[in-house]
Amino acid sequence: MRVLRVALEVPVAKLFDYLCDVSLPAEAGDRVVVPFGARERVGVVVESAEESEVSSSRLKPVTRVLEGAPRLPADWLEQMRFLAAYYQRPLGETIAGALPPRLRSLKPLPRRRKTAEARPDGAPERFVPGPAPNAAQQQAIERIGAALGSFRAFVLHGVTGSGKTEVYLRLIAEVLARRQQALVLVPEIGLTPQLETRFRQAFPQASIAVMHSALEDSARTQAWLDAARGDAQIVLGTRLAVLAPLAKLGLAVVDEEHDASFKQQEGLRYSARDAAIQRAKLAGCPVVLGSATPSLETWHNARTGRYELLSLPERAVPGARLPEVRMVDLRAESAEHGFAASAIEAMRARLSRGEQSLVFINRRGYAPVLACDACGWAAGCRRCSAHLVLHAAAERSRESRGRLRCHHCGAEEPIPRACPTCGSVDLRPHGRGTQRIEEALAGYFPAARILRIDRDSARRRGELARTLAGVGRGEGDILVGTQLLAKGHDFPKLTLVCVLNADSALLSTDYRAAERLFSTLQQVGGRSGRREQPGAVLVQTRFPGHPMYRALMQHDYAGFAAAQLAEREAAGFPPFVFEAALRAEAGKLAETMAFLKAAARLVAVPAGVHLYDPVPHVVTRRAGYERAQLVAQSRSRPALQAFLAEWSAAIPAMAPRGVRWHIDVDPIEFD
């Protein structure tokens, strides 16, 4: 009899020992069925050992070994161990979260596809190259290409449209020629089938596994198995793809590496970018972090020489230039229905030339507040400390009136006919969201085709992708949209971007707000003028002289980043320190705060680690829970890690029932 240490999906940070008959061929990396309590569970063998600390008379035997999937490789288990330790999460839950649901269940697995193995042996992959690389692209291809076969991290800093994707494709061609696999992470793949199409055109014979969370269970499992068996030569996916085992990883690419969606905000709160770097290290291959506006963490690492910086300073299409960015000073020019006259004129000019305009406003719905003019009452959510957002009735729906919706908890209410406090019927919307802007534009341009694109306009799966593809073919004269429109789309006829409401981010207390706004505006501005016609970006603002806007006008990411980093260093913020947040929520804020205060005293805080006082979230109440957090900081990552390990082991025993908590390592969002 041997002993197997098995990781199970339970919220305790330990492995469970089982007996295994010598005749049963179970090894580390196998999925096994084991008795646990009254039922059977699927677990993953992490180690096999000669003996257990538990006396063998109390150990139960493994029921059976599950087949149909390849044994999970040692470097994958190693990565899981690393992630579990780094992000303070039990190994069993970490592993379970990384496996597609099918592989954690007793359901049969899809059978191996024939086509995947059918490739004639030794035949090189066909690569259909795009345009010949320019000098900057060539330099990047050569530097990264020379590093294939060993670990090295590169930052590919390329302005929007500079041809980063072409660089990835040429490198991947080299990786495939070496009979290795490439992993390409993108923030959103469901929205941009353009990217998948481009990969398939470049590699018409290669097997490409696409992975994202919106896939059906069986398709996701199939993609995962293709990756694990080495059948998929290219794995293209969102953050979860970094958790798939790739048998022969030869290159990892993280495109738009600054994007916040690479950080998972629940369960295992991992950064897929950081996990990709770790993965590349384990696999001994290069990793490329691509962005027009790298995160300040990444930029700092490039400046200090930990990562190698490669730049693509110009747009790749000959004649295509970066858009001209101008401020529309709202102190000098008043806005009507949300628009300054010069913005309306700019759109009119585009319309007359048959070009597209995009109006960017980062707020869904009709208006963020519905208030009573007589007494000042404003519609609020019963379960959150937040206003309800007024949504107008959707076209194509049977509703005749709009609704009030909470953007924090999803609660919905009908619009009251009169003020619940004073009875006045003068309820009025305040502020503007996409729907109200759409309405205003219809007033200005009755003959134009106006398309609103946000999460409300595209609820059904696939609808958004179809709309975006239509826009790419020139459908729609004026687009109104949120962040959804900013990411990676290529709209050839788009030559004007109008940005509304950007100022609000400048007034935020979050030290990352400026960084995020700069990158969003660069990104959304980058949709403009991607072909021969020059593009323009108009930003309506009350602070036209703000340094962030000045950097934006000059396309000066480096200058902006240097100024931000200097501020962060002076204030003691990341990337000059490392952070973790202990977040908690309970029915009453007093309970939440008491828990956090007790947690702060729970273990001795070592020198070099600093705990801040707990503070309530800005939106304190959400879905009936009152939330607060406390931040731990250190200049030394190992010191912080050691403290967190001790802390997270001690908290479960003292956390009262009714308090929910978690630790977020390297947090990026604080609300």
User: Which residues here bind ligand ADP, judged by CB under 6 A?
Assistant: 130-134, 137, 158, 160-166, 316-317
Query: Can you tell me whether residue 96 is helix, strand or coil?
Result: helix
Q: Which stretch binds Zn ion (CB under 5 A): 12-20, 318-326, 398-406, 527-535?
A: 398-406
Burial of residue 183, with CB atoms counted within 10 A of its CB: 0-12 exposed, 13-18 middle, 19 or more buried: buried
Task: Report, in Å, the least distance between residue 642 CB and ligand ADP.
Answer: 40
Distance between CA atoms of residues 64 and 26, nearest Å? 9
Task: Report, in Å, the least distance between residue 194 CB and ligand ADP.
Answer: 9
Residues 641-670 that bind Zn ion (CB under 5 A): none
Q: Which does 495 bind (CB under 5 to 8 A by kind): ligand ADP, Zn ion, none?
A: none
Task: Report, in Å, the least distance between residue 167 CB and ligand ADP.
Answer: 7
Q: Which does 474 bind (CB under 5 to 8 A by kind): Zn ion, ligand ADP, none?
A: none
Q: Which does 162 bind (CB under 5 to 8 A by kind): Zn ion, ligand ADP, none?
A: ligand ADP
Identify the residue among 36, 82, 151, 377 touching Zn ion (CB under 5 A): 377
215 binds Zn ion (CB under 5 A): no
* N- to C-terminal Cα separation, the chain: 52
Query: In sequence order, what are the residues at sequence separation of 6 or more whose Cβ sits closer than 8 angstroms to the Cβ of residue 504?
Result: none
The pair phi, psi for residue 585, each rounded to 5°, is: -150, 145
Element (H, E) at 253: strand 249-255
Task: Report, in Å, the least distance between residue 473 CB and ligand ADP.
Answer: 15
Nearer to Zn ion, 426 or 532 (CB): 426
Nearer to Zn ion, 355 or 626 (CB): 626
β-bridge partners, 598: none
Task: Report, in Å, the least distance between residue 320 CB and ligand ADP.
Answer: 7
Q: Which does 301 bind (CB under 5 to 8 A by kind): Zn ion, ligand ADP, none?
A: none
Identify the residue among 95, 227, 409, 593 touching Zn ion (CB under 5 A): 409
Distance between CA atoms of residues 305 and 152, nearest Å? 11
381 binds Zn ion (CB under 5 A): yes
Q: Which stretch binds Zn ion (CB under 5 A): 276-284, 350-358, 415-423, 549-557?
A: 415-423
Number of residues that bind Zn ion (CB under 5 A): 15
Contact yes or no for 404/415 (Cβ under 8 A): yes
601 Cα distance to chain centroid: 34
Structure tokens at 621: 């109440």
Q: Which does 316 bind (CB under 5 to 8 A by kind): Zn ion, ligand ADP, none?
A: ligand ADP
370 binds Zn ion (CB under 5 A): no
Contact yes or no for 46/5 (Cβ under 8 A): yes
Cα–Cα distance list, 126 to 148, 193, 195, 200, 481 (Å): 20, 21, 18, 11, 39
Q: Which does 427 bind (CB under 5 to 8 A by kind): ligand ADP, Zn ion, none?
A: none
Q: Which does 133 bind (CB under 5 to 8 A by kind): Zn ion, ligand ADP, none?
A: ligand ADP
375 binds Zn ion (CB under 5 A): yes
Q: Which letter does DSSP use for residue 57 in this model? A: G
Query: Can you tell me whether residue 537 is helix, strand or coil?
Result: strand
Nearer to ligand ADP, 63 or 134 (CB): 134
Q: Which does 62 bind (CB under 5 to 8 A by kind): Zn ion, ligand ADP, none?
A: none
415 binds Zn ion (CB under 5 A): no
Q: Which does 377 bind (CB under 5 to 8 A by kind): ligand ADP, Zn ion, none?
A: Zn ion
β-bridge partners, 378: 371
Which of 625, 626, 666 lies closest to 644, judged by CA? 666
Which of 246, 238, 187, 236 lies closest to 213, judged by CA? 238
Q: Which stretch binds Zn ion (CB under 5 A): 343-351, 405-413, 430-438, 465-473?
A: 405-413
Identify the residue among 112, 281, 326, 383 touching Zn ion (CB under 5 A): 383
Identify the residue among 422, 566, 571, 650 touching Zn ion (CB under 5 A): 422
CA dihedral of residues 492, 496, 500, 505 (deg, nearest 10):
70
Distance between CA atoms of residues 49 and 26, nearest Å? 12
Structure tokens at 77: 């288990």
Binding mask 315-354 for Zn ion (x = CB under 5 A): ----------------------------------------
Nearer to ligand ADP, 204 or 284 (CB): 204
Structure tokens at 251: 């290159």
Task: Report, in Å, the least distance between residue 552 CB and ligand ADP.
Answer: 18
Nearer to ligand ADP, 166 or 666 (CB): 166
Cα–Cα distance list, 380 to 19, 416, 427, 587 (Å): 57, 12, 13, 18
412 binds Zn ion (CB under 5 A): no
Identify the residue among 424, 612, 656, 669 touching Zn ion (CB under 5 A): 424
Nearer to Zn ion, 342 or 620 (CB): 620
Task: Report, in Å, the least distance between residue 319 CB and Zn ion.
Answer: 50
Distance between CA atoms of residues 95 and 81, nearest Å? 9
CA dihedral of residues 186, 191, 193, 199 (deg, nearest 10):
-10
Residues 277-316 that bind Zn ion (CB under 5 A): none
Nearer to ligand ADP, 166 or 274 (CB): 166
DSSP 346-360: HHHHHHHTT-EEEEE
Element (H, E) at 7: strand 2-7
Nearer to ligand ADP, 3 or 312 (CB): 312
487 binds Zn ion (CB under 5 A): no
73 Cα distance to chain centroid: 27
Task: Report, in Å, the least distance between residue 373 CB and Zn ion.
Answer: 8
Nearer to Zn ion, 150 or 421 (CB): 421
Q: Which does 424 bind (CB under 5 to 8 A by kind): Zn ion, ligand ADP, none?
A: Zn ion
Query: Can you tell me whether residue 175 is helix, strand or coil?
Result: helix
Q: Which does 633 bind (CB under 5 to 8 A by kind): Zn ion, ligand ADP, none?
A: none
Please tell me the number of Cα atoms within 13 Å of 495 on its side-chain side. 17
126 Cα distance to chain centroid: 32
Task: Report, in Å, the least distance between residue 521 CB and ligand ADP.
Answer: 16
* Other CB atoms within 10 Å distance of the CB of residue 395: 7
* Ramachandran region, residue 336 (left: φ > 0; alpha: ψ -120 to 50; beta: rest): beta
The pair phi, psi for residue 387, each rounded to 5°, is: -75, 155
Identify the residue among 211, 232, 384, 538 touching Zn ion (CB under 5 A): 384
Summarize the chain as % helix, strand, coil (round to 5).
30, 25, 45
Nearer to Zn ion, 377 or 576 (CB): 377
Q: Which does 564 bind (CB under 5 to 8 A by kind): Zn ion, ligand ADP, none?
A: none
372 binds Zn ion (CB under 5 A): yes
Contact yes or no for 514/502 (Cβ under 8 A): no
What is the contact surface with Zn ion in residues (CB under 5 A)? 372, 374-375, 377, 381, 383-384, 406, 408-409, 411, 419, 421-422, 424
